[in-house]
């Protein structure tokens, strides 16, 4: 049976406290992972997004602030609740405007409160962020709020709607556990590409199932979407049995109950640029993206399509990338 305990990652905790805090949290039903390296924290989050991150913070160590800043500014996982562990007296020295933490624990004074405070952070995050339980990415309500905020502020952005071709037949043949692994892999690819774009306005969410939304500065759209398609096509064959890879696809059942051949999955991305279409409401963006996605799905493998219709255009006129 799958382990549904909420995962907590503890980063860089001193040996004096790390094992004891791990024991407390595991006793209270958390799945706890301890890590120490700067690179390891982001690799682990991408592999298995936790419900909460706990970091040791030393105001005299510039590396502490750098890791915390990178965590909270991350386009994919900056919404994760961040708990700081601090020695006595340090909270008074902390620059809370820069730290952007969600809560803090003073050690050893508050050690018995660790489980309750972490649980509260997880519950508050689930309520406020509406994170997808499988990938840890912001969920549908948060996506809508973020898109509407940008529209309300009059900021130009591109909405990229990504979903997987032939995902249902894959699920039907290989089962939901392997289907979930494909979704986690897709989330990692998207998150890593968005992270490499290194732009404060690049943002990622998971609507549900095999549907993902990226909100991007228009100038990054071609680069981000092309990288996603390339990486997905490179990795997805690993999720098929060797004989199906050799055949180029699988035999499965379509939505009408007919058995037929389905090629290896692809990632189709529909892009709508508010600066081109003039959209002022999320419903218009979504409707246009749904139309453009149909064009993307007609292309072989992974592909992205940009909607080039202006505000008054009625017919779909999209272009594939060069």
- 108 vs 18, 112, 114, 161, 308, CA distance in Å? 11, 9, 10, 47, 59
Whether the per-residue pLDDT at 14 is higher than 70: the answer is yes
Largest CA distance in the chain: 68
Q: Is 258 exposed, middle or buried (0-12, 13-18, 19+ CB in 10 A)?
A: exposed
Crossing angle for the helix pair 140-152 and 282-297, to the nearest 10 degrees? 120
How far is the C-alpha of 161 from the C-alpha of 214, rounded, in Å?
Answer: 7
Output the average pLDDT for the chain.
Answer: 88
Residue 77 Cα distances to 44, 80, 310, angstroms: 12, 6, 34
User: How far is the C-alpha of 150 from the C-alpha of 307, rounded, in Å?
Assistant: 19
* Rounded Cα distance, 158 and 218, in Å: 5
pLDDT of residue 318: 46
* pLDDT tens-digit readout, 245-290: 999 999 988 877 788 999 999 999 999 999 999 998 999 999 999 9
**140-143, Cβ contacts within 8 angstroms, sequence gap of 24 or more:** 140/205, 140/207, 140/208, 142/79, 142/205, 143/205, 143/207, 143/213
For residues 176 and 194, what is the distance between their CA atoms, to the nearest angstrom? 27
- Is beta strand 259-263 parallel, antiparallel or unpaired with respect to 52-56? unpaired
- Decide if pLDDT at 2 tops 50: no
User: Using 50, 70 and 90 to split pLDDT, how confident is the model at 45?
Assistant: confident
pLDDT above 60 for 23 = yes
Residue 220, by phi and psi: left (phi above 0), alpha (psi -120 to 50) or beta? Answer: alpha
Alpha carbon 162 to its chain centroid, in Å, reads 12
Distance CA 70, CA 43 (A): 13
- The count of other CB atoms within 10 Å of the CB of residue 190 is 29
- Picking from 98, 79, 84, 194, the residue whose alpha carbon sits closest to that of residue 143 is 79
Q: How far is it, in rounded angstroms, from Cα 96 to Cα 42?
A: 23
Contacts of 28 (CB under 8 A, 6+ apart): 115, 119
* Rounded (10°) angle between helices 221-235 and 176-197: 150
Q: What is the pLDDT of residues 61-95, one digit of tens each?
A: 777 788 888 888 887 888 889 999 998 887 877 77
Domains and CATH numbers, the chain: 7-129 (3.40.50.2300), 140-319 (3.30.70.270)
Q: Per residue in 150-166, pLDDT tens? A: 999 999 999 999 999 99
Q: Which residues of 286-320 are buried (b: 16+ CB within 10 A; e: fewer)?
A: bebbebbbebbeeeebbbbbbbebeeeeeeeebee
Query: What per-residue confidence (pLDDT) applies to 1?
Result: 37
Q: How far apart are CA 108 and CA 260, in angstroms?
A: 62
């Amino acid at each position: 049976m799958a382990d549904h305990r909420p995962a907590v990652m503890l980063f860089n905790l001193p040996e004096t406290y790390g094992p004891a805090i791990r024991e407390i949290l595991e006793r209270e039903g958390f799945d706890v992972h301890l890590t120490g390296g700067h690179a390891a924290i982001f690799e682990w989050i991408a592999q298995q997004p936790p419900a909460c991150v706990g970091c040791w913070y030393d105001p005299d160590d510039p590396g502490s602030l750098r890791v915390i800043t990178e965590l909270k500014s991350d386009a994919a996982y900056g919404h994760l609740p961040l708990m700081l562990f601090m020695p006595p007296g340090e909270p008074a020295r902390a620059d809370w405007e820069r730290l952007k933490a969600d809560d803090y624990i003073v050690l050893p004074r508050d050690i018995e409160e660790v489980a309750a405070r972490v649980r509260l952070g997880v519950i508050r995050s689930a309520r406020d962020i509406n994170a997808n339980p499988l990938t840890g990415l912001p969920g549908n309500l948060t996506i809508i709020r973020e898109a509407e905020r940008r529209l309300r502020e009059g900021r130009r952005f591109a909405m990229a709607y990504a979903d997987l071709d032939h995902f249902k037949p894959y699920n039907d043949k290989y089962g939901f556990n392997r289907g979930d692994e494909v979704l986690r892999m897709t989330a990692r690819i998207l998150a890593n590409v968005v992270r490499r774009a290194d732009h404060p306005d690049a943002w990622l969410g998971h609507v549900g199932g095999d549907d993902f939304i990226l909100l991007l500065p228009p100038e990054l759209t071609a680069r981000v979407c092309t990288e996603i398609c390339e990486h997905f096509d490179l990795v997805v064959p690993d999720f098929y049995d060797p004989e199906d890879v050799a055949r180029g696809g699988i035999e499965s059942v379509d939505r009408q109950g007919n058995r037929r051949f389905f090629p290896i999955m692809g990632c189709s991305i529909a892009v709508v640029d508010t600066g081109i279409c003039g959209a002022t409401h999320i419903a218009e963006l979504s409707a246009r993206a749904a139309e453009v996605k149909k064009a993307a799905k007609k292309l072989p493998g992974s592909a992205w399509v940009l909607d080039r219709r202006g505000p008054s255009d009625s017919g779909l006129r999209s272009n594939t990338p060069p």
